[in-house]
A and B are shown apart, each in its own frame.
Chain A
Amino acid sequence: MTTREPGQTRSDRSPWNWLLVLPIVLPLLTFLFNADEPRLLGFPLFYWLQIAFIAVGVACTTIVYRMTR
Chain B
Amino acid sequence: MSLHMTEIVIFTVLFVAVSGMGFVAARWRRPTDLASLHEWGLGGRNFGSWITWFLIGGDLYTAYTFVAVPALLFGAGAAGFFAVPYTVITYPIVFLVMIRLWSVSHVHRLVTPADFVRARFGSPTLALLVAITGIVATMPYIALQLIGIEAVLKTMGVAGSGLLSDLPLIVAFVILAAYTYRSGLRAPALIAFVKDILIYLVILVAIIYIPARLGGWGAVFDGAQAKFAATPAPNDGILLNANNQLQYVTLALGSALALFLYPHSVTGVLASRNRDVIKRNMSALPAYSLLLALIALLGYMAISAGVKPIGKDVNTVVPQLFDQMFPDWFAGIAFAAVGIGALVPAAIMSIAAANLFTRNIYREYVNRTPTDAQEANVSKVTSLVVKIGAVLFILLIDPQFSIDLQLIGGVMILQTLPSVALGLFTRWFHRAGLIAGWAAGMGGGLLMLYGITNPATNHAHFGGSAFPLANLGLDTKITVYAGFLALLLNLLVAVIGTLVARAAKAPDGADATRPGDYTADEGDPRVRDVDLSGAT
Please classify the interface of chain A as helix (H, G, I), strand (E, B), loop, or mixed, using the class held by over half of its residues: helix
A65 contacts B283, C-beta separation under 8 Å:
yes
Are B92 and A12 neighbours in the complex by a CB distance under 8 Å? no
Q: Are A1 and B519 in contact (CB under 8 A)?
A: no
By DSSP majority rule, is chain B's interface helix, strand, loop, or mixed?
helix
In contact, B84 and A54 (Cβ under 8 angstroms) = yes
A61 & B92 in contact (Cβ 8 Å cutoff): yes
Size category of the A interface is: 35 or more
**Closest chain B residue to A28, Cβ basis:** B249
CB pair A12–B100 under 8 Å, yes or no, is yes
Closest-CB distance, B69 to chain A (whole angstroms): 13
Contact of A54 with B293 in the complex, beta carbons under 8 Å? yes
Distance in Å: Cβ of B224 to nearest Cβ of chain A: 10
B238 at the interface (CB under 8 A from A): yes
Other-chain residue from A44, A51, A62, A65 in contact with B84 (beta carbon distance below 8 A): A51
Measured between C-beta atoms, what is the minimum distance from B246 to chain A in Å?
9
User: A33 vs B239: C-alpha distance in the bound complex, in angstroms?
Assistant: 9
Select from chain B the residue with minimum beta-carbon distance to A19.
B92
Mask for B203-233, Cβ within 8 A of A = 1, else 0? 0000000010000111111000000000000
**Chain B residues, Cβ within 8 Å of A35:** 239
A-chain residues with CB within 8 Å of residue B249 when the two chains form the complex: 28, 30
Enumerate chain B residues within 8 angstroms of A46, measured Cβ to Cβ.
Answer: 78, 81, 238-240
Given A10-B519, A34-B240, A41-B217, CB of A57 within 8 Å of CB of B524: no
Report Cα–Cα, A43/B207, bound state, in Å. Answer: 13
Question: What is A's interface to B at a CB cutoff of 8 Å?
Answer: 1-4, 9-12, 17, 20-24, 27-28, 30, 34-36, 39, 41-44, 46-47, 50-51, 53-54, 56-58, 60-62, 64-65, 68-69
Other contacts beyond A41-B217, A69-B279: 18, CB < 8 A? A12-B100, A21-B92, A22-B92, A23-B88, A23-B91, A27-B84, A27-B252, A28-B85, A30-B245, A30-B249, A42-B217, A42-B219, A51-B84, A53-B84, A57-B89, A58-B283, A58-B286, A62-B283
